Amino acid sequence: MTAELVRGQNHVLPQTRLEIRVSAGRPIVAGATLSDEQGKVRGADWVAHPASPGVPGLEVSKQAAADHRLAVDLGALPPGAERVNILLALPVTDGSQVADGGGGPVRFGALAAPFVAVTGLDGSEIASYTITDLDAESAVVALELYRRQGAWKVRAVGQGYAGGLAAMLTDQGLPDGPALAAEILDAVASGVARSVAAPPQRTAEGDRVRQAAPPAQETHGTAAASSANSPHPATASAPDGHVAQAQAPSPVQTGPAAAGPATGPAPTGDGGVPHQPAPTPSSAARTPVRSDEQGGRPDGHTQPTQDRVDQPEPQTATTATPASTGGPVDYTHPARRTAAPPAPAPAPQSAQPGAPARPVAGDATGWSMEERLYNQVWGMFEDLARTAAAYRSAVDFAESRMEQELDQVLTDPRSRISGQGDAAREAARAKQAKLVEQAREVLDRDVAQLSAEADVVEPALPPSFAAWDNPVWHAYRVPMEAPMALRLGDLHLPECADLRIPMLIRLPLERGLWIDSGRTSSSATASLADSEETRGLAMDTAVAHAARLLAVYPPGDFAVHVIDPAGSAAGSLAPLRDSGVLADPPAAGAAGVSEVLARLTRRVDLVQMAVRARATDSLPPDVDTAEQLLIVNDFPHGFDDRAVTQLRYLADEGPAVGVHLMMVADREDAAEYGPILDPLWRSLLRLTPVPDDHLADPWVGHAWTYEPSLTPPGSEVLSDVLARVADARRAWGR
């Protein structure tokens, strides 16, 4: 799977024999340098350039070109070489840029953003990086391949030099950098006639005009010649290879594909370069990345191992195809249903020149407004994760660079006590502070835009996505169909604590929930002197989640059962009990626990057998086919070995047939069972009743602070919503 890097981000390289592909809008020079562990190039023989295209482990192009392929063999590098820097530069002759054989601006800011990709020898793409925000630079360090703890990684650098190749090579430790730069540019200038121009610009797929096939009497050779001379050859050929008759094909309307979040987990650490600001996040320009990895804690890890936030499955819109207009070939897909295309996404509002477009709620892709908002929220989550990763990598890079410079000062005995050493130390610290300040400016800019987008998106969310203080609940009506996702709380990072991203989880629930009533690392929890207060907050959180599930499902399509062996949660359960939305009164005592577990276990068994036999119509009339939620309070009190086994069975097998588990428990209280319950805890998504940084995103592994979604103090919104749910259930006889 390809990793799309941002400036400062790194990615592990799975192999040592690689190919670097460079694509630009006009001919540029591509080269590479080798450096030691301190980042210094030992000599000109460690530089691969058009005048000397081959060095051990590297081979580059001999001329300027719009597209380059550089060969890298990390296992064949000379001794002492720990880093490989991929360099890009504009060819300059007599003060003019050599591009397409003519002059032009000598800066990358006037060209399209260069694209660099690291691929395997089979062409499979490993990582890619688009170098944006270049301006006056005429040379840039695109990528850095480096060895860290015996493994090779690639880092997106994007460090530009307005002084060109001479400044770049000098910065890498070559004292004769200007002379070598002149040699490289002279070699490029002598081969201007051999410069490879950029390929013809491709037309966007959506704007490409489908042309009819050539007439029947046209020979194959003539058709081939006309296609070869056309910059965009397009012939309507049948799938079997026969040429269709010349006619206008029927138009095909294609629905937008849903933009899910990038879900491949990206490595963290190792630093980054903040010399150029990262691109501003935009919900309209997010690039979806598909991954098969599921969220959740890895098996075998115990607390305080972080949970991963459940990542959504990308929502693919159904393609609508009009009926075929006739002809020898019918291109209508038999499995596609005919449906009206979705309404177009809202267009961004106009903004002042040079300012980012004003955010619009629902401008992500999707078939419905609910799907668009869902994808937009997850896009905001991904944008914040990546911009924070770039900031942290940049800060790490600035710290490591300052440490290296200070080490160099301290290694010279003459500079330890002299004024020269003090000046060098101050210069290193000033440089580090400047780099951190630049990275912070980029982070603040991105966070400001995401905050503006959050201010627009939050009021537009439907009840299933909205917080309890959202005005949408005051106009609540019981829905007639289930939503696609549910809000469980908010997530934020320490760098921008004021920006909250809704935590959405897909429905129906694929994992049970565990509301941790024990003490966590959170300072808010540590301030609670009374453990009973923590348990009460945990049960309040469980009731709020259960009430939201009841509110977003159609009447009778969701049922809630409660096990409260000692009756300690009577106060928290009052809204559910008083409104009459519970399927049965809370079960108390060992007998009540056994009865509820036996009934739900029987339901799971019967539904599983009916599904396997494809005989769901033959279920007994006493089996409730609605989604079931079991809230278990104060586990393991009141549970014997048989009840524990049944509980584990419901956690493992229940979600597939509509039986879901919500545990309100302290793991330490269940320590007497030993490791037998470890699979149970790992199968549940752990949530906390107070803010706690135990969740990790699937991209860069940030520790996100989770805050539960609770009703505001003194608000009656929960009771009002549950009363309407109860009225709707009675009206439908459920």
pLDDT band at 24 (very low <50, low <70, confident <90, very high): confident
Higher pLDDT, 506 or 408: 506
Residue with tokens 């019918």: 330
Q: What is the CATH number of domain 509-726?
A: 3.40.50.300
Where are the chain's structural domains?
3-249, 369-461, 509-726
* Closest to 118 (Cα-Cα) out of 83, 151, 143: 143
Buried b (16+ CB within 10 A) or exposed e, 420-453: ebeebbeebeeebeebbebbeebbebbbebbbeb
| Whole-number Å distance between alpha carbons of 24 and 720 | 60
Q: Are 641 and 608 in contact (CB under 8 A)?
A: no
| Whole-number Å distance between alpha carbons of 622 and 600 | 12
CB neighbour list of residue 113: distance below 8 Å, 6 or more residues apart = 130, 131, 132, 134
| Whole-number Å distance between alpha carbons of 327 and 246 | 10
Segment 74-104, tens digit of pLDDT:
988 998 889 999 999 988 744 444 433 344 4
Segment 248-302, tens digit of pLDDT:
333 333 333 333 333 333 333 333 333 333 333 343 344 333 333 333 333 333 3
Give the CA distances from residue 178 to residues 88, 185, 408, 616, in Å, rounded to whole numbers and listed in that order: 16, 11, 24, 79
> To the nearest 10°, the Cα dihedral for 565, 567, 571, 577?
70
Share in percent of the chain as helix, strand, coil (round to 5):
35, 20, 45
pLDDT band at 573 (very low <50, low <70, confident <90, very high): very high
pTM, 2 dp: 0.56
Segment 162-210, tens digit of pLDDT:
888 889 898 888 888 888 888 888 888 776 434 444 444 444 443 434 3
Q: How much is the average pLDDT of 449-472?
A: 93
- The single-letter DSSP state of residue 45 is G
- Listing DSSP states for 51-95 in one string gives TB-EETTEE--SS-EEEEEEEEEGGGPPTT--EEEEEEE--EETT
Q: Are 80 and 42 in contact (CB under 8 A)?
A: yes
CB neighbour list of residue 534: distance below 8 Å, 6 or more residues apart = 517, 518, 519, 525, 528, 689, 690
Percent of the residues in the chain that have a pLDDT greater than 70, as a whole number: 73
Q: Are 380 and 362 in contact (CB under 8 A)?
A: no
What's the confidence (pLDDT) of residue 258? 34
**H-helix or E-strand spanning residue 34:** strand 17-35
- The single-letter DSSP state of residue 665 is E
Higher pLDDT, 635 or 306: 635
21: pLDDT strictly greater than 70: yes
218: pLDDT strictly greater than 90: no
| Whole-number Å distance between alpha carbons of 397 and 147 | 15
Residue 704's SS3 state is strand
Q: Are 488 and 633 in contact (CB under 8 A)?
A: no
Buried b (16+ CB within 10 A) or exposed e, 141-174: bbbbbbbeeeebbbbbbbbbbebbbbbbbbebbb
> Which residues are 154's β-sheet partners?
11, 145
Q: What is the topology classification, in CATH, of domain 3-249?
A: Lipoxygenase-1 (2.60.60)
